[in-house]
Amino acid sequence: MLTIAKYEAIQMLRDPLVIIMSTVMPLGMAGFLYWQIGDVDISPVAAMIPFIMGAFVVYGAAVTALASRRQNLFLKRLRCTAESDAGIVLGLVSTLVLLAVIEAVGVLAVFAVLQTPPANILLTVVVGILVLALYVGFALATAGFTKSADSAQVTTIPVAMGLIGIATWVMVTGTETLTGLKLALPGGAAVELALGAWRGIEWADAAIPMLITLVWTAIAFLAAKVFFKWEPRR
């Protein structure tokens, strides 16, 4: 798994477009949000950071990489080795996840210095991990029906836009109205948790959103198990 991750990192460093897409885009968006609303209250911007990193650094790049590596039979070749399927998948996505974590930690650290740090750091970390895991699960599932790197530009739109859209909607309108719907939608409970973690939610109040987020993460990985394919369709 670590060997695959190492060589994925080498490949990433040799592709300027991937570097730009996975650093300039998400960091630029984080900066834009901070510039727009961050000076009033940092918590909504901070709550969006895991979603921005998940969508731009992990999800889109992972779907593109997996589809392209399946199409050129790189995945099949990896399965010719003694590495397990789980090890191969982890190796392929871990570089992206690590990059997302580094960027998210960096941005949140800057926010904490410029404004206020999160009231519940542990919960912030847990939510961040869950959101990234949610995107990884959806990436594997989406890659299953994405034929090529080119078609990833289309197939990634629903989940990428959907999750960010839901998170933005819940963040902007709050959960006082349509509470059940907002929490039940994928990412809705997670952004509620992220907001709470920054503002200081009690662990007891975090239980239900946490449970819903866990359920969505499980659904994403179940979808990945069902839809993910190792070889191009014959």
Partner 1 sequence: MASDTLIKVRDLVVSYGDYRAVGGVSFSVERGELYALLGTNGAGKTSTLETLEGHRAPFSGTVTAFGLSPRDRRSVRPRTGIMLQESGFAPTLTVLETVKLFGALSGRGDDARRVVEVAGLAEKARVRVSQLSGGEKRKLDFATAIYGTPELIFLDEPTAGLDIEARDQLWAAVDVIRGQGATVILTTHYLEEAEQHADRIGLMHRGKIRMEGSFRELARSFPAKVHFEAAVEQASIPFPAEATGPYSWVIATDDAERDVYELQSWARRHEIGIHGLAVRRASLDDIFRTLSR
Selected from 29, 49, 75, 212, the binder of partner 1 by CB under 8 A is 75
Stretch that binds partner 1, among 5-13, 45-53, 152-160, 168-176 (CB under 8 A): 5-13
Q: Does 82 bind partner 1 (CB under 8 A)?
A: yes
DSSP percent split of the chain into helix, strand, coil, nearest 5: 80, 0, 20
Interaction between residue 80 and partner 1 (CB under 8 A): yes
| 173 belongs to the binding site for partner 1 (CB under 8 A) | no
Q: Which token pair is 53?
A: 């990193």
Strands (E), 116-226: none
Taking contact as CB under 8 A, which single stretch among the options 3-11, 36-44, 136-144, 204-212 is the one that binds partner 1?
3-11
Any contact of residue 199 with partner 1 (CB under 8 A)?
no
CA atoms within 13 A on the CB side of 55: 24
Helices marked H in 72-148 — which ranges?
74-78, 85-114, 121-144
State yes or no: residue 77 binds partner 1 (CB under 8 A).
Answer: yes
| Residue the block writes with tokens 């359920």 | 215
Q: Does 10 bind partner 1 (CB under 8 A)?
A: yes
**Toward partner 1, which CB reaches closer, 14 or 154?**
14
Token pair 């059940």 is at which residue?
180
Selected range binding partner 1 among 24-32, 72-80, 101-109, 172-180, rule: CB under 8 A = 72-80
Residue 122 Cα distances to 194, 198, 202, 218, angstroms: 11, 10, 12, 21
By CB under 8 A, tell whether 36 contacts partner 1. no
The yes or no reply on residue 231 touching partner 1 (CB under 8 A) is yes
Cβ proximity to partner 1: between 77 and 147 the closer is: 77
73 binds partner 1 (CB under 8 A): yes
- Asked if 116 and 24 count as a contact pair (C-beta separation under 8 A), the reply is no
Residues 6+ apart with CB under 8 A from 221: 133, 137, 140
Of 78 and 140, which CB lies nearer to partner 1 in the complex structure? 78
Residue 65 C-beta: closest distance to partner 1, Å: 10
At 112, list the tokens. 């904490």
| Closer residue to partner 1, CB minimum distance, 173 or 225 | 225
92 lines the binding site for partner 1 (CB under 8 A): no
Instruction: Give the orientation angle of helix 121-144 with respect to helix 203-227, to 10 degrees.
Output: 20
- Chain CA centroid to CA 115, Å: 24
Instruction: Give the residues lining the site for partner 1 (CB under 8 A).
Output: 3-4, 7, 10-11, 14-15, 69, 72-84, 231, 234
